[in-house]
Amino acid sequence: MTRQAEWGRAILRCAMALALFTGCALFDFEATPPGPGVPRISDLRIEPDVVERGGQATLRFDFTDLDGDIMDVYLGLRSEVKDFTLATGLRPAVISRGKYLGQTEGTAEETITISFERRFAPLASEERDYEGGVVEPERRQQEIGGIRVYEIFVVDRKGQVSNSLRARVTVR
């Protein structure tokens, strides 16, 4: 293995560790302090935790809301590490609206599709193919995976925001 390839792998390991253990504040949503009627979530699971690009995964988490007025489930991409590229703080999106309204406790289950945007990472000149496309030795760009860290929270009718939880999935 060349010195440059070793250096690149070391940078990737550092970027992945940084993405998994740090991050910015939760988008524009700030958790409402715990109290009567404020929804709470716990025990977030993602299954499977290793997914092929374009595959589906199921998010499950437990919730409690004494008012039974959970309106929206939000999912945000907390961070993504792929091909030496680190992205953080992408805005959350509603993945479920009104599905848990009227329930005071239970287990939520949402299915999501896992995919990466195709971005080309800077690689050494000797790692470029003859047509100028970027490749990693012995692997084409389309075959390179990465790690995604998702963050989930719920919002009730009064606009109260639950705590947030994170789950990591490896994309191949």
pTM: 0.66
Could you please report the per-residue DSSP string of 61-111?
EEEE-TT--EEEEEEEEEEEEETTEEEE-PPPEEEEESTTTT-SEEEEEEE
Residue 132 sits in a domain whose CATH number is 2.60.40.10
Q: What is the pLDDT of residue 136?
A: 45
CA–CA gap between residue 9 and residue 15 (Å, rounded): 10
Domain containing residue 140: 3-171
Q: What is the pLDDT of residue 77?
A: 81
Q: Which residues of the chain have pLDDT under 50?
A: 17-27, 118-142
- Which DSSP helix (H) or strand (E) runs through 20? helix 3-21
- Rounded to 5°, angle at Cα 7 from 5 and 9: 70
Q: What is the pLDDT of residue 125?
A: 40
The total number of structural domains in the chain stands at: 1
